[in-house]
Chain A
Amino acid sequence: MNIRRATVRAVLWRGVLFALLWWALTDGRPGSWGVGGVSVALATAASLALLPPVGTCVSRIGLVRFLVFFFVQSLRGGVQVAAFALRPRPGLRPGFHDIALRLPAGLGRILLANTLSLLPGTLSVELDGDRLCLHVLDETAPTEREVRVVEDRLAHMLGLELDTTA
């Protein structure tokens, strides 16, 4: 997809999303669309400046698969932390874990770091280039394998190439 088409698509999609947001915030009051139209246009312009379209589009199947994965893992993460907290002896075995990322720089890596902080047993501590430092609740858990799974899902959702030489 060339950049011009990608920009048109991005303007349309983001415009629709911001309009939906305005509709929800104002409970669909018809009198509010004068201010709303200007706000939607400005918000779309700001989003294009802050996050320019890259020419790949978000895969819808990828998005649904990522969301389902995220919900299931969130449930696991919450239950795990609750179990550690409520046990008579928590039995934590924490430590740091360094991982070389395969995702390209940019949105993908930031989403990965934030997602991992919300998933079971991992907390992002430092993101420096392609190195991600995690704090883990259990050193003996297969952390790297779980990170690779999240990377695969994010790459599929965002249409990104993974650097498999890393």
Chain B
Amino acid sequence: MYGWIWRHLPGNVWVRALISLLLVLAVIYVLFQYVFPWAEPLLPFNDVTVDNQ
């Protein structure tokens, strides 16, 4: 999977490394901004009230 991505990136090793880094950062951004905020309420840490459990 990662090898396939690496082979399909353009440019020499340095350009590919830079693009990979940007891709990784983009994935982390999407995770922190959208995916984790959605997943976190499914965990029990939000249950602090006595009425709506």
Q: Do A and B come from one complex?
A: no
